């Protein structure tokens, strides 16, 4: 079966696979079965363990999701994984192995349940079960599932529709630029799109090539869908395959080097997904494959996060604020997007801390790390050190819990870091002297809270603030104390009154010999306001 995925090297043999006994009439090198012998019983199920790794499936090195700094040693951070298109081939092969006298003509209800990663290696139990004479259910335990229909021959192909899409226009990029400009993350074996014919509000047309990499041809169709999403919406621009309702094959799989025309027609567009129908056509005009209900999940990205996924070394998600601190705003509002973003910004070693946290803590942790690494990278850029990848900035905590960072450039030596976060927002500050920063939402504060955090002298200062501004003033006071305490490297240590505000000049607060800047932050689309306080340059 040209183009079908072979079992990986070292995989255990399938149990119950056809061929355990000679077929009636014998085979080469075997005697014919005696007259009246009972024919070998057809296989009803098979099971094997498939190892997914760069050793057993080296082509996955060209299906690694993230860009890392040049020479980066840890392939885990590249995130090589099995494309859904390769999973389609696995499913087809497993079903065909139960019925060597038939061909797979249709796949129904294909579902990808989670990533199948190659680093670290993943052992996947693959089970195929004959449901009827013409149907086999295939399950990659915990990762994917589908039903495959079998028949004696492929169905007659329908006529191809090669006409332009309504309203079709040229694409902004060439096929080569999809990869050179990182619209696609794929390596050479999965550079499957070789031409772009045109794009419209209702779909896209192009040409795709089959390579030696399993799934490369159908992955080219998936890339066209992803590119259409990039070009057609202004948010949630990143899309990845998740389900296929039906795939129909009208002939054997094309061989390496063969090219087909591909037409994608968008049937539904939702905030969280795009649904398409896809047709792949051979040069002789025959349809090879039709896919109905190809669904790609849209991830929660805006222009800035999407550009950061493409070029993490050149882009930052945060905004630099007056005073030199940076603000990260959580525009990714779902766990799946956050899990991808954390891989852009943090290494395997750093993610060990993230994995130990509950979902709420993870939200804050990511905001803090994004703000911290962007603050460092923007400070380095101001010193002329550009294209610093987030992975190249290593952030951890000292023995007292204060954040610190390291970077392999002399410009980062001797600098200090402070981080703070609240729901949906993260801030960070970098300086050549010890620094501190804090952020809090302006909220009603009780008299008990005021008494706990402030001295009598500080309460006299607050008494001069009109009642309507009391909560804002108290929030500024609290944030100023937090910022000053962080700059010591110790924090408040349960004694906020030990960091007494001695002087207030406008929005500046003096604690000891340290001046703290404060500001009120009001964000579009956010209810209420926030106070940010940070240590001023000395």
Predicted pLDDT at 24: 28
List, in order, residues 6 or more apart from 144 with CB less than 8 Å away. Answer: 84, 87, 91, 110, 111, 112, 113, 116
Q: What is the pLDDT of residues 407-426, one digit of tens each?
A: 999 999 989 999 999 989 99
Predicted pLDDT at 298: 96
Neighbours of 457 (CB within 10 A): 10
Q: Where are the alpha helices (DSSP H) in 233-328?
A: 303-310
Q: Taking a C-beta distance cutoff of 8 angstroms, is the pair 242, 296 a contact?
A: yes
- pTM (predicted TM-score): 0.86
The residue ranking higher by pLDDT, 14 or 442, is 442
d(Cα 397, Cα 383) in Å, to the nearest integer? 25
Q: What is the mean pLDDT of the chain?
A: 89
Number of H helices, E strands in the chain: 10, 22
Where b means 16+ CB within 10 Å and e means fewer, 352-376 reads ebbeeeeeeebbbbbbbbbbbbbbb
Q: How confident is the model at residue 458 (pLDDT cuts 50, 70, 90)?
A: confident
Predicted pLDDT at 465: 65
pLDDT for 448 beyond 80: yes
d(Cα 200, Cα 206) in Å, to the nearest integer? 12
Predicted pLDDT at 466: 62
The residue ranking higher by pLDDT, 469 or 5, is 469
At what angle are helices 470-487 and 456-463 packed, to 10 degrees?
140
Q: What is the pLDDT of residues 391-402, one digit of tens each?
A: 999 999 998 889
The CA radius of gyration of the chain, in Å to the nearest whole number, is 30
d(Cα 523, Cα 514) in Å, to the nearest integer? 28
Predicted pLDDT at 212: 96
Q: How confident is the model at residue 219 (pLDDT cuts 50, 70, 90)?
A: very high
pLDDT for 462 beyond 50: yes
Of 83, 404, 405, residue with least CA distance to 225: 83
Q: What is the pLDDT of residues 62-113, one digit of tens each?
A: 999 999 999 999 999 999 999 999 999 999 999 999 988 899 999 999 999 9
Q: What is the pLDDT of residues 187-210, one digit of tens each?
A: 999 999 999 999 999 999 999 999
Of 432, 324, 304, 325, residue with least CA distance to 368: 325
């Amino acid at each position: 079966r040209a183009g079908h995925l072979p079992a990986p090297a070292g995989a255990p043999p399938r149990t119950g696979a056809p061929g355990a006994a000679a077929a009636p009439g014998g085979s080469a090198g075997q005697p014919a079965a005696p007259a009246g012998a009972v024919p070998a019983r057809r296989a009803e199920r098979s099971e094997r363990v498939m190892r997914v790794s760069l050793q057993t499936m080296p082509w996955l090195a060209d299906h690694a999701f993230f860009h890392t700094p040049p020479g980066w040693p840890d392939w885990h951070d590249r995130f090589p994984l099995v494309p859904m298109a390769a999973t389609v081939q696995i499913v087809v092969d497993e079903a065909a192995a139960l019925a060597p006298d038939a061909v797979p003509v249709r796949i129904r209800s294909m579902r990808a349940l989670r990533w199948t990663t190659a680093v670290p290696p993943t052992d996947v139990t693959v089970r195929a079960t004959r449901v009827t004479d013409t149907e086999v259910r295939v399950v990659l335990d915990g990762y994917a599932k589908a039903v495959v229909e079998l028949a004696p021959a492929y169905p007659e192909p329908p006529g191809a529709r090669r006409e332009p899409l309504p309203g079709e226009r040229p694409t902004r990029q060439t096929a080569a630029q999809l990869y050179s400009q990182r619209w696609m993350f794929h390596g050479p074996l999965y550079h499957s799109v070789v031409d772009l014919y045109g794009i419209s509000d209702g779909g896209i047309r192009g040409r795709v090539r089959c390579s030696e990499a399993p799934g490369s041809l159908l992955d080219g169709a998936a890339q066209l869908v992803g590119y259409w999403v990039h070009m057609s919406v202004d948010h949630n621009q990143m899309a990845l395959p998740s389900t296929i309702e039906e795939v129909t094959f009208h002939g054997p799989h094309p061989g390496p080097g063969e090219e087909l025309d591909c037409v994608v027609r968008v049937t539904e567009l939702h905030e969280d997904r795009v649904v398409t129908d896809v047709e792949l056509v051979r040069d002789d005009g025959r349809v090879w494959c039709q896919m109905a209900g190809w669904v790609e999940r849209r991830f929660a990205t805006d222009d800035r996060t999407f550009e950061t996924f493409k070029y993490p070394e050149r882009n930052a998600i945060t905004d630099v604020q007056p005073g030199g601190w940076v603000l990260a705003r959580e525009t990714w509002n779902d766990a799946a997007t956050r899990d991808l973003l954390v891989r852009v910004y943090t290494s395997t070693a750093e993610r060990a801390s993230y994995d130990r946290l509950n979902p709420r803590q993870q939200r804050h942790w990511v905001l803090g790390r994004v703000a911290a690494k962007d603050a460092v990278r923007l400070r380095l850029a101001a010193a002329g050190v550009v294209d610093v990848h987030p992975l190249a900035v290593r952030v951890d905590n000292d023995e007292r819990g204060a954040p610190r960072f390291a970077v392999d450039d002399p410009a980062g030596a001797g600098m200090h870091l402070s981080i703070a976060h609240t729901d949906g927002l993260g801030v960070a500050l970098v300086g050549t002297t010890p620094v501190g920063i804090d952020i809090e939402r302006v909220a009603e504060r009780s008299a008990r809270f005021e008494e706990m955090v402030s001295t009598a002298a500080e309460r006299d200062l607050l008494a001069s603030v009109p009642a309507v501004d009391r909560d804002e003033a108290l929030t500024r006071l609290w944030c100023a104390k937090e910022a000053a305490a962080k700059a010591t490297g110790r924090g408040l240590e349960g004694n906020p009154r030990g960091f007494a505000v001695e002087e207030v000049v406008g929005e500046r607060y003096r604690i000891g010999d340290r001046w703290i800047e404060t500001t009120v932050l009001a964000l579009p689309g956010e209810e209420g306001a926030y106070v940010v306080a940070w240590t001023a340059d000395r």
